[in-house]
C-alpha cells in the first residue's frame, strides 16, 4: 500500500480552469496586483495579425503556490491517521492471504472455510473503507483546488493581457488526454510567473520546509489517491 494518498491534486482542477478563465476574461479587468509584471519585462503589444500563445500547468500552479502548499500539507496531516488505519487493514489482509496460501493443504475443511470467510469479510470492509476515504480525500482536494483557482484565474488573465498573450493553454494533462502534443516550455510557459504573482497577491507566506512537503502535480502525474495493490478474493 502506498504511503502517500494525498501527493497530487485531482485532475478536476484542469476542468475548473476552462470555465473560470472564460468567465473571468469576459468580466472587467481586475486591478493591478503586486508583481503583476516581472521587473525584467515590459508590457507588450501583439502586432496586428500575430498571435502570442502561452501555456500554464494549472495543477502545478495551484499545488506549488504558498496557499496550495499550506492547505495540501494540512490535508495530508489531517488524513495521516486514517491512512495508517487503512494500511493496517491491508497488512492484516495480506497476512491472512499468505496464511491461506501456505496452510490451505494442512487445514481441515471447517478451518479452511472459516479462514476464507474471514478474508472475504475483511476484504469487503477494507474496500468500502478505502472507497469512502478516497472519495472524502478527493472532495477535499477539489475544494482546495476550486477555491484557489477562483482567485488565481483573474491573475492569469491579467498577467496574460499585460504580457501580450492572445491564448493560454492548460498543459496539466499529458497528450493524448490533452490536445497539446508539444510545446517549448522554456519559451512560452507562464506557470512559475503566475505562481510568483499569486503568492505576492495572496500574502500567504511560504510554508516551512519539513522535507516531506506535498509535491505539485506534474504533466505526467496521476491525480488524487493511489489504491494499494489489490489482491483477488479467495475462491
pLDDT digits (tens, 9 = 90+) for 22-41: 444 444 344 444 444 443 44
Q: What is the pLDDT of residues 67-82, one digit of tens each?
A: 999 999 999 999 999 9
Q: Which long-range contacts (CB under 8 A, 24 or more apart) does 14-20 make?
A: 14/58, 14/59, 14/170, 14/172, 14/173, 16/58, 16/145, 16/146, 16/149, 17/58, 17/149, 17/153, 17/170, 17/172, 18/170, 20/149, 20/150, 20/153
Q: Is residue 16 predicted with pLDDT exceeding 50?
A: no
Q: What is the pLDDT of residues 150-196, one digit of tens each?
A: 999 999 999 999 999 999 999 998 888 888 888 787 778 999 999 99
Task: Give how far Cα 184 sits from Cα of 29, 54, 198, Å.
Answer: 28, 10, 23
| Average pLDDT over the chain, rounded to an integer | 77
pLDDT (0 to 100) of residue 43: 47
CB atoms under 10 Å from CB of 91, counted, come to: 12
CA 36/CA 199 separation, integer angstroms: 11
User: By percentage, how much of the chain surpasses pLDDT 90?
Assistant: 57
CA 198/CA 140 separation, integer angstroms: 21
Q: Is residue 215 predicted with pLDDT exceeding 80?
A: no
Q: What is the pLDDT of residues 108-120, one digit of tens each?
A: 999 999 999 999 9
Q: Is residue 17 predicted with pLDDT exceeding 50?
A: no
CA 40/CA 163 separation, integer angstroms: 12
pLDDT (0 to 100) of residue 129: 96
- For residue 223, name the pLDDT band (cuts at 50, 70, 90): very low
pLDDT (0 to 100) of residue 27: 44
Amino acid at each position: 500500500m502506498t504511503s502517500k494518498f494525498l501527493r497530487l491534486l485531482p485532475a478536476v482542477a484542469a476542468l475548473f480552469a476552462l470555465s473560470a478563465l472564460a468567465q473571468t476574461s469576459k468580466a472587467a479587468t481586475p486591478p493591478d496586483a503586486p508583481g503583476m509584471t516581472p521587473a525584467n519585462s515590459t508590457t507588450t503589444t501583439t502586432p496586428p495579425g500575430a498571435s502570442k500563445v502561452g501555456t500554464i500547468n494549472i495543477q502545478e500552479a495551484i499545488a506549488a503556490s504558498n496557499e496550495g502548499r499550506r492547505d495540501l500539507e494540512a490535508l495530508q496531516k489531517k488524513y495521516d491517521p486514517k491512512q495508517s488505519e487503512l494500511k493496517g487493514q491491508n497488512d492484516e489482509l495480506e497476512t491472512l492471504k499468505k496464511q491461506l496460501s501456505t496452510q490451505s493443504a494442512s487445514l481441515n475443511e471447517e478451518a479452511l472455510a472459516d479462514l476464507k470467510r474471514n478474508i472475504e469479510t475483511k476484504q469487503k470492509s477494507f474496500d468500502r473503507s478505502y472507497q469512502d476515504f478516497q472519495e472524502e480525500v478527493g472532495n477535499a482536494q477539489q475544494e482546495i483546488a476550486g477555491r484557489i483557482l477562483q482567485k488565481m484565474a483573474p491573475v492569469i488573465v491579467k498577467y496574460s493581457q499585460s504580457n501580450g498573450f492572445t491564448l493560454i493553454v492548460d498543459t496539466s494533462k499529458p497528450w493524448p488526454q490533452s490536445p497539446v502534443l508539444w510545446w517549448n516550455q522554456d519559451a512560452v510557459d507562464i506557470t512559475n510567473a503566475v505562481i510568483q504573482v499569486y503568492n505576492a497577491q495572496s500574502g500567504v507566506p511560504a510554508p516551512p520546509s519539513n522535507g516531506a512537503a506535498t509535491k505539485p502535480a506534474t504533466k505526467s502525474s496521476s491525480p488524487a489517491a493511489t489504491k494499494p495493490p489489490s489482491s483477488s478474493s479467495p475462491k
